[in-house]
Copies of this chain bind each other. A is one copy, B any other.
Amino acid sequence: MPATYPADSVGLVEPQRAVFPAPLALECGRTLSGFELVYETYGTLNAAASNAVLVCHALSGTHHAAGYHSPDDRKPGWWEACIGPGKPLDTDRFFVVCCNNLGGCHGSTGPTSTNPQTGEPYGPDFPMVTVRDWVASQARLADHLGIERWAAVVGGSLGGMQALQWAMDLPDRIAHAVAIAAAPRLSAQNIAFNEVARQAIRSDPEFHDGRYQSRGVIPRRGLMLARMLGHITYLSEAAMREKFGRELRRGKDDYDFHYEVEFEVESYLRYQGESFVERFDANTYLLMTKALDYFDPAAAHGGSLARALASATARFLVLSFTSDWRFPPSRSREIVRALLETYKPVTYGEIEADHGHDAFLMPVPQYLQVFRTYMQRVAAEVAA
């Protein structure tokens, strides 16, 4: 509970809401008659509107990327490590924007919103959204904010995929694309993990074909399992070993021979699962995992990522982490290779870090340094 906020934090922030009444045609073939996005901004947009950076969130992220919502907040936004005065996304120089994605459950139009046609929550009737749809919806937000062109679009994991999609779909509106711990498309193993998570949710008897909200219940067990599983893939084996090892809980020094929590790692996972249920919607989780599965820009170009990226004019920063086994460095190198094949300017950094996929959220010194240096160059261009 910071009475005052840390000097390198953006401090107190307030979410805003933008309403887009025009229809949005989605990749799945359906059309949303209109939508709303909840977003936050940090820093000040300059007169030329040339210093704006869009931060795209990952699977379970929100618009609350930095700062605090109240002095009582125990935790700052999810990317506090990277957003703030003097940080890589330096709010003294950039105007940073982060929105809750379409289909989300933190205020933007999504499955928990009221379907204007029925007066009921959309639930499972909310259309499937894709990374391309997110880019299109974020472009409306850019219009709304008077931003013709982003100095950079930046994201980790699924957020990095959005940065790539921006570079492909709207090349005139993005100067730099920063894709951190991302992949050009999911592997069969990635899809398999997502499928188990979805089955966990959809087979929960409280799921009710996605209409749990109108029944006043939550597919709690399924969502908890999905999150527990997700967490395993976010952490490296080494990080888990360091964090928990085979430590038994509560200073116990022998086995109980029962099924209650015995190992610290079990306790951690159950806690993560239980707390997730309180703040995330199951239908949104399903949507987000499908958006991940569907992301495959090369598919429309005969499998060539280079051809998919041919339209891009942005410069690229690609970063990966050595212990990330969800989207390992080899996946980032696929992106780099495709960019080099078509002579795109790309900077690539492979960061030595033990934290696994989650490293992109953490204050890993080498990571912050590379990211900061790159963004300082972007800031210099903006100022020039």
Contacts and interface: CB of A to CB of B under 8 A. Distances in A.
A246 B295 CA distance: 11
A1 interface: no
A10 to B, nearest CB: 34
Interface in A321-353: 325
Do most interface residues of chain A lie in helix, strand or loop, or is the interface mixed? helix
Interface stretch (A35-43, A58-66, A105-113, A261-269): A261-269
A220 to B, nearest CB: 9
A29 B128 CA distance: 54
A229 B228 contact: no
Nearest to A195: B266
Contacts of A195: 228, 263, 265-266, 269-270
A212 interface: no
Interface stretch (A88-96, A181-189, A364-372): A181-189
Contacts of A232: 189, 192-193, 196
A276 interface: no
A241 B188 contact: yes
B188 A246 contact: yes
Contacts of A75: none
A240 B186 contact: no
Interface residues of A, number: 54
A361 to B, nearest CB: 19
A125 B325 CA distance: 39
Given A232-B193, A257-B128, A263-B293, A243 B198 contact: no
Interface in A257-312: 257-259, 262-263, 265-266, 269-270, 273, 286, 290, 293-294, 296
Contacts of A229: 196, 229
A160 B188 CA distance: 29
Contact of A200 (B128, B188, B200): B200
Given A195-B265, A263-B293, A237 B189 contact: yes
Contacts of A187: 237, 240-241, 246
A188 B28 contact: no
B270 A199 contact: yes
14 contacts: A128-B257, A185-B246, A188-B243, A188-B246, A189-B232, A189-B235, A192-B240, A192-B265, A192-B269, A200-B200, A203-B221, A203-B225, A225-B225, A257-B290
Given A188-B237, A188-B244, 9 more contacts: A27-B257, A188-B243, A189-B241, A191-B266, A192-B228, A192-B265, A196-B232, A198-B259, A262-B293
